[in-house]
Amino acid sequence: MKKYVKFLVSLLLAALFVIPVMAGCAGGSNEGGGTGQGGEQGGANLVDYVSQLHLDLNSETVKQEVTVRQFIDGDTTHFTPVTNSTLTNYNANKDTFAKTYGYIKARYLAVNTPESTGDVEKWGKTASNFTRQKLTDVHSIIVESDDSNWNVDSTGERYTLWIWYQKKEGDEYRNLNVELLQNGYGFAQNTETNRYGTQYALPALMQAKENKLIVYSNEKDPNFYEGAPIEISLKELRCCIGDYAQKVVRVEGVITTQMDNNIYLEEYDPETGLYFGIVVYYGYNLDTFLRKILTIGNRVSLCGTAGNDGTFGAQISGLSYDPRNPDDPKNTYVIKDKDGNEIKNQSPAFAETKVVDFMTKEITATVERTVITEDADGNRVETPDIKKFPLDYGKAVMNTTISMKNLYVKEAYTTNNGGENTGAISLTCYQLDENGVEVTVNGKKIKVAADSKGNAVTTVVRTTVLKENGELVLQDRFLYKTINAKGIVDQYDGVCQLKVHLLDYIEILD
């Protein structure tokens, strides 16, 4: 009996000790709940450091109210300054952020999320989605420096900033940097050595580690593909991009050009008589082996992660090549001919294209593939799948090389917004056609191509910032002239256009 009483006393003492310890671990309120994949932290024992951190609009730091210009990844976003803001103590003009062309390329302080652009890492896309979700449909966003200056990172092109957002008017601003750390979406990045480091960012990081949240967990990332590469054609990838988003694919094609840390890949399709293509983002850290492989004119077998989101559209990223393991199934390599020689020096197609087809024609692309499933007994089942995809001609040839001849430039517009595209020119063009309809441009009567209803059709040739002998090429060089143009197909506001990035790709005929 005495032993039983002693046992009960021991249990009571243990309970009295545990209760205050647990109470001391409890934190403030948490937005959201659960620690599952892509979710937010929750649970009575987790401290919400974000709710303890408050934005001081009157501190010595410089601040700017902004709107989102472009989402990049979990720890990088491009913002546009709100120049008439009444909230911030410094209203910027385009010259303030000259290093990033008048807008703000923000690299988040204190946090480093996994990669999801040039490289593709586990939890990268999930972290990117978290940032996008937090900054979408908000009432206000404010970026704040770590001190009284606008500071750039080691690239010299990105400002290192704290990101604050207010969901609804009157709500408390929340700090996204600390929120990413607190929910386990990022690793340390000088986490302690900054304005909010010791009291908020570092404890939030350590708590996420201790509780094994997201990047510190052993959970499976639903947005990270870990299977074998899926071999498909460029046509199938473009037609069925939604089925392959965030999956590792292998495609073949010819590298046609390079622009802005991207290469463009195209491949001929006998069924439609068109070329299908895709843009491939390789980022800023292209190693020597991949640089050699990704040479214009090479015919390659390219392996990477397919993507299709509102920021970048259809693309492939996350390429790799392991020189220590040339047989790695995820290697990108130059294709060899039957004699074992690498296929190089292939020319872009520059398929000659009529404006009326480019802007109005529809085509049908047939995709034949095998759908693999399992039956009730777990046996592999292969089912033929044939689908027909109606496509606008211009969107079908997106990211491929085309050429257009006898274009009469009826209008020209030069971008002048203080951004990196200042000096780029948009040329609105007719295509001359002796059997077409008659129009008058600049007092001159010309016959131009028309659609089936007899309406004159125009298209846009969009140049990058072109220079000759160091001098900016001006729009008057092309206005009211007849030109031949060739380049890459892209789109602006959903309308297809021809993008020209080399001055040699425009030939003036008169």
CATH code of 211's domain: 2.40.50.90
What is the total count of domains within the chain? 2
For residue 168, being part of any structural domain is answered with yes
pLDDT level of residue 43 (50, 70, 90 thresholds): low
Q: What does R_g of the chain's alpha carbons equal in angstroms?
A: 28
Q: Are residues 186 and 253 in the same domain?
A: no
Q: Quick one: average pLDDT of 283-311? A: 89
What separation in angstroms does the CA of 470 have from each of 100, 266, 313, 333, 466?
21, 32, 33, 36, 9
**CB of 74 within 8 A of CB of 186?**
yes
For residue 311, being part of any structural domain is answered with yes
Rounded distance between C-alpha atoms, residue 396 and residue 405, angstroms: 20
- Across the chain, how many H-helices and E-strands are there? 10, 27
Question: Do β-strands 230-231 and 248-259 pair in parallel, antiparallel, or remain unpaired?
Answer: parallel
pLDDT level of residue 98 (50, 70, 90 thresholds): confident
CATH number at residue 243: 2.40.50.140
β-bridge mates for residue 479, sequence order: none
Rounded distance between C-alpha atoms, residue 473 and residue 501, angstroms: 12
Which helix or strand (DSSP H or E) is residue 396 part of?
helix 393-396
| Residue 36 pLDDT > 70 | no
Q: Are residues 62 and 149 in the same domain?
A: yes
Q: Are residues 154 and 197 in the same domain?
A: yes
Rounded distance between C-alpha atoms, residue 35 and residue 44, angstroms: 12
| Residue 97 pLDDT > 70 | yes
For residue 129, being part of any structural domain is answered with yes
For residue 428, being part of any structural domain is answered with no
Comparing CA positions, the residue from 275, 322, 287 lying closest to residue 303 is: 322
For residue 340, being part of any structural domain is answered with yes
178 conformational bin, left if phi > 0, alpha if psi -120 to 50, beta if neither: alpha
The separation between the first and the last C-alpha atoms of the chain, rounded to the nearest angstrom, is 112
Q: Quick one: average pLDDT of 264-285? A: 94
For residue 237, being part of any structural domain is answered with yes
Q: Are residues 87 and 127 in the same domain?
A: yes
| 40-44, 268-272, 373-377, 478-482: segment of lowest average pLDDT | 40-44
Q: Are residues 154 and 237 in the same domain?
A: no
pLDDT level of residue 23 (50, 70, 90 thresholds): very low
Three-state DSSP class for residue 127? helix
| Residue 488 pLDDT > 90 | yes
pLDDT level of residue 40 (50, 70, 90 thresholds): low
Mean pLDDT of the chain: 89
Q: Are residues 59 and 193 in the same domain?
A: yes
**CB of 181 within 8 A of CB of 208?**
yes
Q: Are residues 192 and 288 in the same domain?
A: no
What separation in angstroms does the CA of 226 have from each of 112, 165, 185, 283?
22, 34, 19, 21
Rounded distance between C-alpha atoms, residue 212 and residue 219, angstroms: 9
pLDDT in tens, 314-373: 999 999 889 899 889 999 999 999 999 999 999 999 999 999 999 999 999 999 887 778
Q: Are residues 201 and 257 in the same domain?
A: no
Single out the residue in 170, 188, 216 at which a domain terminates: 216
Taking the CA of residue 82 as centre, how many other CA atoms within 13 Å lie in the half-sphere pointing to its CB? 17
For residue 181, being part of any structural domain is answered with yes
For residue 12, being part of any structural domain is answered with no
What tokens does 400 get? Answer: 């491929």
Single out the residue in 316, 349, 382 at which a domain terminates: 349
- Domain hosting residue 293, numbered range: 230-349
Q: Quick one: average pLDDT of 72-100? A: 86
**Residue 99: predicted pLDDT:** 77
Taking the CA of residue 35 as centre, how many other CA atoms within 13 Å lie in the half-sphere pointing to its CB? 22
